[in-house]
Each structure stands twice: as structure tokens, then as C-alpha cells.
Amino acid sequence: MEGNPRNLDDLFDSSLRLEEAHVDEGFRAGYADGLGSGREEGRQVGLKVGFQVGEELGFYRGCVDVWNSAIDADSEAFTARVRKGVKQMEELIGSYPVMEPENERVQEVMDSLRLKFRALTASMGVRLEYGGYPGSKSSEAKGIDF
């Protein structure tokens, strides 16, 4: 009978080790699946946000290009303050860290661009605002009013 308790202990030990092995295996499989799905979700969010940022930067770049063309055609039609503001906005666009999305200045530069844009349009007496791409579901496209 002395052999029975050891066999019983061995049986419980092997059962416990089997359970631990299954828990470890389940954890590893779940972790790997989570990494894969997390990467894909992160990629999708990154693409969406990157597109939205690029779209907004492109809008501001287009406005600056149009304003610079108008200034080149008749600089006297614009105050020195407006000309300086357009130049500053152009510099802000150029300073946006496009290739460094984790740069801490990303939000600061975008906020400065938005503020400068509102100040410029107000000083020119132009009613113009960025409302996102009209076909975009994520933006409440307000359109562009003149």
C-alpha cells in the first residue's frame, strides 16, 4: 500500500503539470494572436489618421499656394500682415514632421496651423474653413464657403 500514495502523488503531479502546460500554451497562442490582430488594427488606424492629416495639410498647402500666387500677381492688394501670415503658414507646413508621426511636435504644429489659418482668413475677410473630405464618413464635411 505504500506504493499507492506515491503513484497517486505522481498522478496528481503529472495532472498539475499537464494543466500548467496547457495554460502556458494557451497564453502563448493568445498572446501571438493578440499581437497579430493588434498590429493590423494599429495599421488600419494609422492609415486612417495619416490620410486625414495629409488631407488637411494638403488643404492648407493649396490655400498657401493660391494666396502666394495672388500676392505675386498684386502684392499691394494684401497687407504686410497678411503677407507675413501667409509666409508663416508656409513655414509651419514645412516644419510639420511628416516622416516622424511620433514626434511630440505633431499636435503643436497642427494646432498652430489651424490657428494661423483662422487668423489669416479673418484678416482677409474670407469665409473659408477646412471641413474634411466631402466623401469622408469620418468628417462632418461643412464644405468650403466663400
Say if residue 140's pLDDT is above 50: no
What percent of the chain is modeled with pLDDT above 90? 36
Give tens-digit pLDDT for 73-116: 998 889 999 999 999 999 999 999 888 878 888 889 999 999 99
How far apart are alpha carbons 128 and 31 in whole angstroms?
49
Nearest-10 crossing angle of helices 3-73, 105-124: 30
Determine the Cα–Cα distance for residues 106 and 99; give it in Å rounded to an integer.
10
Give the span between the Cα atoms of 143 and 132, in whole angstroms.
Answer: 8
pLDDT above 70: residue 145: no
SS3 call for 104: coil
Cell 497687407, located at residue: 79
CA 70, CA 81: separation in Å to the nearest integer?
15
Nearest alpha carbon to residue 120 among 87, 73, 74: 87
Tell me: pLDDT of 7 over 70: no
**Cα angle value 35/41/36 (rounded, 5°):** 25
Quick check: 135 pLDDT over 70? no
Q: Is the pTM of this model over 0.75?
A: no
Pairwise CA distance, residues 27 & 138, whole Å: 36
